[in-house]
């Protein structure tokens, strides 16, 4: 089970029909977003043709002048990553449809900068971890070590690098929550 954007999602481990299931989850994402008024042509889902391959799943969509984005890369296969995305989007859309969440809150949940992937790569580089590192405990451990060294109250402290460290940590933390 993973917790994404406040939703506990039972992780599914796909064992057969990887490409067919990935396409099914892709279509589920489109259907859910369309149900709240997103035009199908405003939805971008990079699709991995070999769904068993380890690859991140992401979706970008445009709604009422907002660029909204969600990605997942914690599972071992693209098909399982896109499944988690479909479940998160389904849960959020259902909250909007049931009026438990406003569209403004929905926008806040998914609003990301256009260059978020670049920022995440830079943050991982700052921490000295692999560009595809998805183990939060590894990233958090690096953060704590660097925070101790860079804290302005320490002899080796550096206020500007400490600020950059905290920004990098926030950037990556949002990816995992």
Alpha-carbon distance values, 127 to 124, 134, 139, 168 (Å): 5, 13, 7, 8
Has residue 114 got a pLDDT over 90?
no
CA–CA dist 110, 66 (Å, integer) = 9
CA–CA dist 25, 12 (Å, integer) = 12
Last residue of a domain, one of 90, 110, 130: 110
CA–CA dist 40, 158 (Å, integer) = 48
Q: Is residue 99 domain-shared with residue 120, that is, in the same domain?
A: no
Q: Is residue 128 domain-shared with residue 41, that is, in the same domain?
A: no
CA–CA dist 176, 17 (Å, integer) = 28
Last residue of a domain, one of 110, 143, 164: 110
Q: Is residue 93 domain-shared with residue 129, that is, in the same domain?
A: no
- Return the pLDDT at 78: 94
Q: Is residue 125 domain-shared with residue 101, that is, in the same domain?
A: no
CATH of the domain at 125: 1.10.287.110
Q: Is residue 6 domain-shared with residue 73, that is, in the same domain?
A: yes
Has residue 177 got a pLDDT over 60?
no
Alpha-carbon distance values, 53 to 4, 22, 61, 82 (Å): 22, 11, 24, 12
Whether the CB-CB separation of 52 and 79 falls below 8 Å is answered with yes
Q: Is residue 7 domain-shared with residue 78, that is, in the same domain?
A: yes
Q: Is residue 95 domain-shared with residue 122, that is, in the same domain?
A: no
- Return the pLDDT at 176: 64
Rounded to the nearest angstrom, the gap between the alpha carbon of residue 103 and the centroid of all alpha carbons in its chain is: 19
- Return the pLDDT at 166: 87
- Return the pLDDT at 96: 96
Whether the CB-CB separation of 37 and 63 falls below 8 Å is answered with yes
CA–CA dist 21, 43 (Å, integer) = 19
CA R_g for the chain: 18
Q: Is residue 25 domain-shared with residue 53, that is, in the same domain?
A: yes
Q: Is residue 48 domain-shared with residue 124, that is, in the same domain?
A: no
Place of tokens 């296969």: 77
Last residue of a domain, one of 110, 143, 167: 110
Q: Is residue 15 domain-shared with residue 80, that is, in the same domain?
A: yes
Domain count, the chain: 2
Has residue 112 got a pLDDT over 80?
no
Q: Is residue 51 domain-shared with residue 16, that is, in the same domain?
A: yes
Q: Whole domain around residue 151: which residue ranges?
A: 116-176
């Amino acid at each position: 089970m993973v917790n994404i954007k406040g939703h506990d999602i039972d992780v599914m481990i796909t064992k057969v029909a990887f490409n067919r299931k990935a396409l099914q989850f892709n279509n589920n994402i489109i259907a859910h977003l369309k149900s709240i008024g997103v035009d199908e042509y405003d939805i971008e889902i990079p699709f991995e043709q070999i769904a068993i391959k380890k690859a991140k799943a992401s979706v970008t969509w445009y709604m009422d002048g907002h660029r909204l984005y969600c990605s997942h890369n914690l599972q071992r296969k693209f098909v399982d990553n896109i499944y988690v995305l479909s479940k998160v989007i389904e849960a959020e859309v259902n909250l909007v449809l049931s009026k438990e969440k406003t569209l403004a809150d929905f926008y806040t949940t998914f609003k990301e900068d256009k260059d978020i992937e670049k920022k995440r790569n830079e943050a991982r580089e700052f921490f000295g971890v692999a560009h595809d590192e998805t183990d939060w405990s590894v990233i958090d451990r690096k953060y704590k070590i660097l925070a101790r060294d860079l804290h302005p109250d320490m002899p080796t402290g550096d206020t500007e690098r400490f600020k950059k460290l905290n920004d990098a940590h926030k950037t990556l933390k949002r990816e995992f929550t």
